[in-house]
Chain A
Amino acid sequence: MRENNTSIKGDQRAQSALTEGVRWASDLTRARQAGPSLSHKDWSQAGFSTAAVHAGTMDDEATGAVGTPIYQTSTFLLGDEQYRSVEEGYARDRFIYTRYGNPNQWALQTKLAALEGAESALVFSSGMAAITATVMALLDKGAHIVASNELYGGTYNLFNQEMPTMGISVSYVDPRDYEAIEAAIRPETQMMYFEALTNPLLKLVDVRRLADIAERKQVRLVIDGTFLPPVCCRMIEQGADIVIHSASKYLNGHSDLIAGAIMGSRKLVDMVWPRLLAFGGSLDPHACFMFERGLKTLAIRMAAHERSALSLASYLEKHPLVKRVYYPLLSTHPDHDLAQRVLRNGGGMIAFEISGGDTAALELLKHLKIPKQATSLGGVESLVSLPYNTSHAGYTSKQRLDMGINPGCVRLSVGIEDPEDLIADFDQALKAL
């Protein structure tokens, strides 16, 4: 029934559930396990940097080349074992076709799972591909979502414009009003969807508290952890069922590719995988290679982001033209106590409000020399944007005001530049106003 391992092109540990004499479901013996992966080393005791560099990365056996080779192929030679995997439903454990799985995707997924402390991961061609596949996998016809009322604009558009077409409804609730969140759950609610750190005002959500509500109400908790990668906080440890990332941001960290990722239990990630196949948001092997290279430096990048962000936030807080600064590690941040409890690293996102409204904010952007005026975040270079005409352009001005996004709000993704240089640049730009 089973072939020896040399014929297996994929995860050696993953085997057929069928053995001689199976007559009914109770005779089946296959249990879920972490992965799929080409390596099964336990990285749970390793530090973030060690896991980021080594977990999942494969040296080339044929040549001794260090690092994962690029398997730039769309398809794989098929044998009996792969045909069997399709027939019996374990095709995710074998190499068949790159949309199904590819060694570069697996290397990356193993690294992501190790960093998050999760059983399994999937990579996607964008963060929105990851969100769409996850949401559609975990919801049924007629389902209801309880979501944050401060969602990233792309997610809001998906929920607001696409979900109703599929008979799925959404209630939007203040992400820090836990009583309202619980009250919004209906009999048909299947999912709570929140962002760990909101965009742009950086409200820190208490994931443990959300997880407690989700468990009592028997619904799934999905957390978008894009602003807080695993080095900052492991969402699965906090109780999330699945954590989603736009990997175009901190995980890759170099503003040079578009990708998405999810991490969670093998059970739930296996549920999402068929939607990845159906919706087609697979990540190309070369993009996986770039993503893997970027991910290796996640821990040291996050340390640099935090150092520069905290210095700059502290400077801005004292500036007379700056009305308000949001950064979780500032003692003035409304969620500072929670941040102290749950964050290992405060990340690199800052929001601040400048006197003079959006006109003054636009003027400030023109005078800045280091931060580039661009949407996106999490790259090594500082990026600055105004929510009203970028990430939150899909909301009305009243909706933005209701969220607390006042005129003059600036979103700053602090890169890894030296804090002294960033402060000097903001100093000259503010003086020019």
Chain B
Amino acid sequence: MDNRLLPKIDNEWFRKRLLVFMLLIVAVFAVMAGRLFYLQILMGNHYRELSVNNCLRKQRIEPLRGLIFDRTGRLLVDNRPSYDLRIIPNDVRNLDETAHQLSELINADPGEIKKNVENNRGAYGYSSILVKRDISRNLMAVLLSRSYELPGIIIATGSRRNYIYDSLASHLIGYLGEITQHELNKGKYPYKQGGDMVGRYGAEKAFESQLSGVPGAKIVQVNATGNVVDVIESQPAKPGHNLYLTIDFRLQKKAESLLSDKTGAIAAIDPENGDVLAMASSPGFSQNAFVDGLNDSSWNALINDPKRPLRNKVVQGEYPPASTYKIVTAMAALEEGAMDKATTVYCPGYFKFGNRVYRCWKEEGHGRMHIVEAISQSCDVFFYQAGKRLGVDRIAEYARGCGLGGKTGIALDHEAKGLVPTAQWKKKAFGIPWQPGENLSIAIGQGYNLTTPLQMAMLISAVANNGTLYKPNIMKSVRSVQGGIVEKSGSEEAAKLPADKESLEIIKKGLYDTVNNRRGTAYWYVRSKEIDICGKTGTAQVVGRKYEDEQGEVKKKYRPHAWFIGYAPAENPQIAVSVLIEHGGGGSSVAGPVAKEMMLSYLKPGADKDTSEPGN
């Protein structure tokens, strides 16, 4: 072996050092033995008593949920104190009896109370279980006066979510709901326990982890009746972070008042970065009602309402884009070289294709049109021609490039993708091959196409900023309670529009003329003397046009959906708006003025005329 590598060292030298080590080790063991003696012999009786009575309780300290503000720092959502009725299972003498007595006081089913307590008691049995949140002062007085008959019942001060402007931006802000047994078992919310509230919808859900905070705890000693006699140790809760949304309170309120008597959706976007300035879906709902707990009848009323109040129409509503889609068709035609700035098409009011006649919305015809005029006057015949030249699949490519047919990626649940049809898609969906005539209806947005108001808002804001398709953003910042920024939104670029500067300039000219040229479809309803508005109208047929003819007068539910998408000012746009009014009628007369109001309200807050009605 390699013993020569191991230097000879005087063993005595090692032995002396080993002796010192041994002494130290014995000393350490003596300390531990001493500690054992102290705990088990000197303090043994004390600890034995503690272990027999089990009188140490661990109590939770609830964290305050973060507040929600708008972009300017206006408080939208806070918490207010509430008195909660809770039960400590192991302190209850007779659960059946207690449940029965309580059921009369709080008007609930005794079986439910019992089941709740049994499901949530856990192995520990000394954690309190929520029975009823936010009880009235009267009920509290009654309960306190009867606390002797009802051992194990406690009134705990808690906090309850308070939506200050109830139902404002209800779809965007969302609401809370009680955590379910299933979620608790899955461990998705590590700090939550039965009876806690978690974000269920909207930003409350999307930013749950930032808002919810971390509970604290205290260890207390209680006497035989369960009253706290001593706090042994305490660790405060960490409050949740505050959330600053990108929405502007004033503009949001404006959007909702504009939709107050309508069913529809408005999205306003900052074209510079994709920030959502306002997001309104009408009708809305009361968020506070959700926090209080809906009873079955109000819940059923909400879900059975044909106007779908719980649905965020901005991100979940899918509508035929109608003439607003002509932006996409124009882009495809210009980029593919199917048409250019000088190409003209004569519109006699109809377009013959095969053995069918496709009509323009203007029966007497537009006459000879080039592309800018075709956009501004929304000439169907011009775009039939474009559709015929392009074919469905080439249009679909550009539609996808414009962000249609896919989620925008907004931080809200249940976002709809819309639909961009292709020949292959139709074959798969219906088993029927694509008909050449369908290219024409696709080109004017009347085929199988479906888009969400948010997709159209992002598209028009990309046109406004010369081609950058942002991901819509609802979070401006997340700040700690001390005010430090925890998270900040960066404008996320999703993609570039599939169009060069020249094509976009042509399209933008068309959008400008739509509003500012006397012949433009929106001239009479949208033009403003104060700012240059650009945009595109759309009137989406819900049923065939012939149906309308037979009926004479059109019933509301057969009326078309009204679209307007646009931006302002024309130079250096500050706001892009997408408006969809379900069964509103004409895009220019119904949706247009709404969009105009939004833009004026945002850009000229002083000159805001709340009740000015555009001349009809």
Do A and B form a real pair? no
Interface residues of B (CB under 8 A from A): none
Interface residues of A (CB under 8 A from B): none
